[in-house]
Structure 1
Amino acid sequence: MAAKVSESIGKFGLALAVAGVVNSALYKVDAGHRAVIFDRVHGVQDIVVGEGTHCLIPWVQKPIIFDCRSRPRNVPVITGSKDLQNVNITLRTFFRPVASQLPRIFTSIGEDYDEWVLPSITTEILKSVVTRFDAGELITQRELVSRQVSDDLTERAEFTEAVEAKQVAQQEAERARFVVEKAEQQKKAAIISAKGDSKAVELIANSLATAGDGLIELRKLEAAEDIAYQLSRSGNITYLPAGQSVLLQLPQ
């Protein structure tokens, strides 16, 4: 009876472990959301995952879920009107990220992109538009003011995207130029090294041809001196037969 109970507990524990592994390999993307996959080996993947239940590699991949539905945001601003009146105005905007750009948004800005981007450009645009109207016109021409703010925000967002794209293109061009210059320098270094080796071989050949056996004998003496020095520093005592060459009868 005890053996059966233990066997049942063991099977139950194994089932729980398998279920835990399966659950960790699945993730869900709700309606109106999109996911970006961060891979610990390859970094942020370029694909954007749609709604539904999907698989991933546990401990290696992690889903980052983005809400792609339109959401409101209020930005309060205190600024001056055209007639130098202090105006306390609040801009209400609706925003959502472009789903195809989520990998780039996550890489360059992060999950809280709206906290970084929206307050910056909306405050700047709102102050710029308010200074074009008198305090009274901000009330009587509210529709015109709203349309002007919307147009300027759209233009500014497109301008910012164009500037970022230009910066990325410039960085890629600089990187390519660096790679080419590095290859050229390595090529020049290899040529100089080859010329140096060739010159060294030529000088050694000329020395042997000029000095004859004298240079060979000099090299033998230098080798014998080095061997004698190494033997004198050794802890073991080495004896050589009388009259035997220190070079141990190396070929002449």
Structure 2
Amino acid sequence: MFNRLVGVKDKVYPEGTHLMVPWFERPIIYDVRARPYLVESTSGSRDLQMVKIGLRVLTRPMADQLPEIYRTLAENYSERVLPSIIHETLKDIVAQYNAKPAYHSERERKILTQRATNFNIPLDDVSITTLTFGKEFTAAIEAKKVAAQEAARAKFIGESKSAQLIGQAIANNKAFITLRKIEAAREIAQTIAHSANKVYLSSDDLLLNLQGMNLEVDPKK
């Protein structure tokens, strides 16, 4: 309540019917419900990439501190405080990190909540709504994705071609299977030889029964 003689009274009147002296007094009405406030800020990251962040906060004034809020910030308290502290906080935090790990909402929430509380404006929620990188950084990310897809495609084609060649080698020369068995047996034997543990397994299961293999090649095949 504003009084022409004493100024803003320290008493806060809740919703309802109250008496006032006409002309000498007038009510100052505040909405103490939480309301969303959107701010967009463009900041530079530690690796010199421009990051545009849209931040949404739910804010409300402290009901018991309304006289102090009116004396220091007037009725449009959110427009006077929130843009400056949000821009400053975002620029300070984004500058400490590279553009890739750009989500730091938890730290932003703590710092913004603490700073807003100093102005008697608690923040019920802080969340990032939009996140946009510069054109160069976005193009680099897209190029990296395309390169990864091309590498995966080349690997798939190589594996398919390798399987096709092995199939043709087996069909043309049965000795190819025997050669692969010998190579597999050699790798298994080297692994067992360098192992500190004792191994007791059937040689038939480990492809180590090379003496029983028929290594002669039929000239007709």
Matches within 5 A, 1:85-164: 85-138=49-102, 142=103, 145-158=104-117
Q: What amino acid is aligned across from residue 115 of structure 1 in structure 2?
A: E
Larger radius of gyration: 1
* Corresponding residue SS for 2:30: strand
C-alpha distance in 2 between matches for 1:124 and 1:68: 25
Q: What amino acid is aligned across from residue 55 of structure 1 in structure 2?
A: L
Contact kept in structure 2, 1:91 and 1:126, CA below 8 Å: no
Please provide the CA RMSD for this pair. Answer: 1.5
* 1:70 matches 2:70: no
> Which structure 2 residue ranges, 5 or more long, are not aligned?
121-221
C-alpha distance in 2 between matches for 1:64 and 1:129: 37
Work out the percentage of aligned pairs sharing the same amino acid. Answer: 45
Q: CA deviation at 1:160?
A: 6.4
Q: CA deviation at 1:159?
A: 5.6
C-alpha distance in 1 between matches for 2:71 and 2:17: 24
Q: What amino acid is aligned across from residue 92 of structure 1 in structure 2?
A: R
* Corresponding residue SS for 1:54: coil
The 1:61/1:91 distance shift into structure 2, 3 A limit, reads: same
> Which structure 1 residue ranges, 5 or more long, are not aligned?
1-36, 162-252
Matches within 5 A, 1:31-46: 37-46=1-10
Corresponding residue of 2:17: 53
The 1:75/1:86 distance shift into structure 2, 3 A limit, reads: same
Q: Deviations over 1:81-111 (max 9, x none)?
A: 1211011111111110001110011011100
Corresponding residue of 2:181: none
TM-score (norm 2): 0.52
Q: CA deviation at 1:136?
A: 1.5
Q: Deviations over 1:44-72 (max 9, x none)?
A: 00000001121111111000100101111
Corresponding residue of 2:44: 80
* Corresponding residue SS for 1:116: helix
Work out the number of aligned pairs and report it: 120
Q: What amino acid is aligned across from residue 150 of structure 1 in structure 2?
A: R
* Corresponding residue SS for 1:66: coil
Q: CA deviation at 1:156?
A: 2.6
Corresponding residue of 1:193: none
C-alpha distance in 1 between matches for 2:75 and 2:37: 16
Could you say which structure has the greater relative contact order, defined with CA pairs below 8 angstroms and 6 or more residues apart? 2
Higher helix share: 1
Misfit runs of 4+, over 4 Å:
158-161
